[in-house]
């Protein structure tokens, strides 16, 4: 079990996989951006937000094909172009900046869980959060409470 803690070590959530944490963070970002947008902030202040620059995106080749099918000259290059041309999925990772993402073609030997874990750890470090991994079926960060031998004595 993975526990996400805030700056005060209060549990924000518990998750079974790093993929669940990625989804949770993305949903929190969407909520935050919606809130900021509804408060009549300018687009510039929204794009300057530290939330916009953190993304872990998995593009299926089919999705890339749909996106680029309507373009005469798709503006893709490098790894993105290789993945597209080879019919592979693509992972795009942003670490705090919407510019210059790290990209990976999804092949059989790519450890996607490792990439998710690295991204989650970097996100937590940048935002003052902690990520605690608890082995087994333990659902709590608290030590189990045990009583003395006379607890049931009346």
pLDDT band at 145 (very low <50, low <70, confident <90, very high): very low
pLDDT at res. 67? 81
Residue 45 in this model has a pLDDT that exceeds 60: no
18 or 152: which leads in pLDDT: 18
% pLDDT > 70, the chain? 74
pLDDT-derived band at 149 (thresholds 50, 70, 90) equals very low
| pLDDT over 50 (residue 147) | no
Asked whether the predicted pLDDT for residue 137 surpasses 80, the reply is no
What pLDDT was estimated at residue 35? 61
For 86-110, write each residue's pLDDT tens digit. 999 999 999 988 788 999 999 999 9
Which string of DSSP letters, residue by residue, matches 44-103? HHHHTSTTTTEEEEEE-HHHHHHHHHT-SS----HHHHHHHHHT--EEEEEES-SSS-EE
**Of residues 118 and 47, which shows the higher confidence score?**
118
Higher pLDDT, 31 or 49: 31
Q: What is the pLDDT of residue 30?
A: 79
Bridge partners (DSSP) listed for residue 14 = 3
């Amino acid at each position: 079990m993975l526990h996400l803690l805030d700056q005060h070590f209060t549990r924000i959530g518990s998750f079974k996989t790093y993929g669940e944490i990625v989804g949770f963070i993305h949903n929190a970002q969407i909520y935050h951006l919606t809130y900021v947008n509804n408060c009549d902030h300018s687009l510039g202040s929204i794009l300057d937000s530290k939330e916009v620059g953190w993304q872990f995106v998995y593009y299926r080749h089919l999705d890339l094909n749909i996106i680029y099918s309507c373009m005469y000259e798709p503006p893709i290059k490098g790894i993105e172009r290789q993945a597209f041309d080879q019919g592979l999925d693509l992972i795009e990772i942003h670490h705090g900046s919407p510019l210059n993402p790290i990209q990976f073609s999804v092949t059989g030997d790519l450890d996607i869980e490792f990439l998710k874990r690295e991204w989650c750890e970097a996100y937590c470090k940048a935002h003052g959060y902690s990520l605690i991994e608890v082995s087994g079926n333990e659902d709590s960060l608290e030590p189990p409470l045990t009583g003395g031998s006379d607890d049931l004595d009346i």
